[in-house]
Structure 1
C-alpha cells in the first residue's frame, strides 16, 4: 500500500510544513527547492530524497489538503449518516473547500497562488478525483436512487445544474467581487435551500439514508486511495 512520506520521516514533515508556509505567503511563482530546504533546515538533497521534482512536492502538498477534506467528510458521515442529505452535504462541502486554502485555490484557479500549477495535469486530476464538483457528481446517482433527488430530469443536465450551483456559491464565498451588490448572513442556509429547490424534496427512509451513507463512504475511500497512490510511496 502507499503511505505519505511524512508518516515515517521527520524531515519530510518539515519540508511539507515549510513549503506550505512559503506557498501561502508568496505563491509558487519563483519558489525554489533551495528556499524550501532552507526554511525546513535541511539540505537540498534531502528534499530530493522524498520528491523527484519541485512539481511533485507542490502537487503533493495540494493533494494533502484534498485528502484532509476527504477524511473530514468520511468521519462526519460515519458519525452522522443523515449528513448525506444533499441539503446538508453541499453546505458542508462548500465550507470545507473554502476553509482549505489549496482546495479553494485549485477550485477558483487562483493563478496568484498556484501559477502554472493551476493547469498542471496532476492538479486537474486532483480536481477530477476529489474536487467538490467531482464528489457531487458521484453522489447524484445515489441520491436519485434513494429518494434524495428528483428523477424526472436527465442525469447529465441535473449534474450540470448542481455543479453550476456549487461553483457559484464557492466563487461567491471566495471572491467578494462576484456578488458585490448583495449579501446574506448565512450563505450555508441559502445553499441548503437552493439545493432543495434544485433537486426537489428529500423523502428517504432510514434504509435509504443508511445505503446513501454506505455508498458515500465507499466512494470516499476509493477516491482517497487513488490520490494516495499518486502521491505516496509504496510500502509492501
Structure 2
C-alpha cells in the first residue's frame, strides 16, 4: 500500500526514521541490481511503497539519496570494524586490519563499488569529492599510517606516503581481480590471507613491539569512531 506522499512525519521521530531506512534499503537493492543510471526516484518510491514526493522530503536530489545509501554502508562497515577491534589489540596492525576490511568489503557489494569507483554502480558519484573522501578513509588513510609509524611498527625504509601508495594499490588490486569470479578462483579467505601477508612483509617491522599494540588499537578505535560518528550525524539529518 502506497503511503501518502504528503505525510510529513515529525523530524527525528521513529516513524520518520523507519521510513527513511526503508527507502535506503530499497535504493541499495536497486543499485546492486541495476546500477546508478538505471535507477530512478520513481523506481525507489514504487518499491518502497511511498510517493515520489516522500522520497524528496528526505533527500532533495537523486544523488543525495544514492550517496546516503553508500554512506550508510560505509557506516555499517566502520561499526563492524569497531566491534572487532574491541576484541583484539592486534587487529589494529595493517596486515590484520586490511585482512578484516577485505573480508567485510567482499560481503558488501556497495562498499566494494565505492572503493573501486565502479562507474556502473556509482555513475556520476564515482568522481564526487565525498566518494573520494570515503575511499581515503577506508583504504589509504595516511592518518592511520602515521599512527602506525609513531608506534614504531612501520618499516624504517618506508615513509608514510610510500606506505599509503602500497596499501591502496595492493588492496585495490586484490579487490579488483578479474579472476575472482572464475570457478577456479581462490576462496575469499585465501585471497584475504595473501593480501595480509603481502602487507605485513611490505609495511611492518619484523618484530612488532608488544607494548605498541594497545596504544595503536586505542588510537585507531578513536579514529574510526570519529569517522563513524560523522557519517551517522550526516545520515540523521535526512531522517
Q: Smaller-chain TM-score range?
A: 0.7 to 0.9
SS of match in other structure, 2:144 = helix
Q: Deviations over 1:141-162 (max 9, x none)?
A: 2222223221233221232122
Contact persistence 1:33–1:44 (CA under 8 A): yes
Output the TM-score relative to the length of structure 2: 0.83
Which of the pair has the greater relative contact order for Cα pairs under 8 Å at 6+ separation?
A: 1
Could you tell me which of 161, 164, 176 is aligned with 1:159? 164
In the alignment, structure 1 residue 204 sits paired with structure 2 residue 212: no
> Aligned partners of 2:144, 2:15: CA distance in 1, in Å?
31
Flag structure 2 segments of 5+ consecutive residues without an equivalent.
1-10
Shift of 1:184: 4.6
In the alignment, structure 1 residue 37 sits paired with structure 2 residue 37: no
User: Which residue is equivalent to 2:231?
Assistant: 227
> Aligned partners of 1:28, 1:56: CA distance in 2, in Å?
12
Correspondence list, 1:1-236, <5 A = 8-128=16-136, 130-134=137-141, 137-172=142-177, 175-176=178-179, 184=186, 186-199=190-203, 200-205=205-210, 207-233=211-237
Output the TM-score relative to the length of structure 1: 0.84
Q: 1:169 to 1:219 in 2, by over 3 A?
A: same
Aligned residue-pair number: 225
Cα RMSD between the aligned structures? 2.6
Flag structure 1 segments of 5+ consecutive residues without an equivalent.
none
Contact persistence 1:146–1:212 (CA under 8 A): yes
- 4+ residue runs of structure 1 moved beyond 4 angstroms? 3-8, 182-185
Q: 1:60 to 1:4 in 2, by over 3 A?
A: farther
> Aligned partners of 2:23, 2:169: CA distance in 1, in Å?
37
Higher mean C-alpha deviation, range 69-78 or range 6-15: 6-15
SS of match in other structure, 2:36 = coil
Contact persistence 1:149–1:202 (CA under 8 A): no
> Aligned partners of 1:184, 1:102: CA distance in 2, in Å?
22
Contact persistence 1:5–1:233 (CA under 8 A): no
> Aligned partners of 1:7, 1:218: CA distance in 2, in Å?
32
Contact persistence 2:125–2:131 (CA under 8 A): yes
Shift of 1:33: 1.2
Shift of 1:8: 5.0
Contact persistence 1:12–1:50 (CA under 8 A): yes
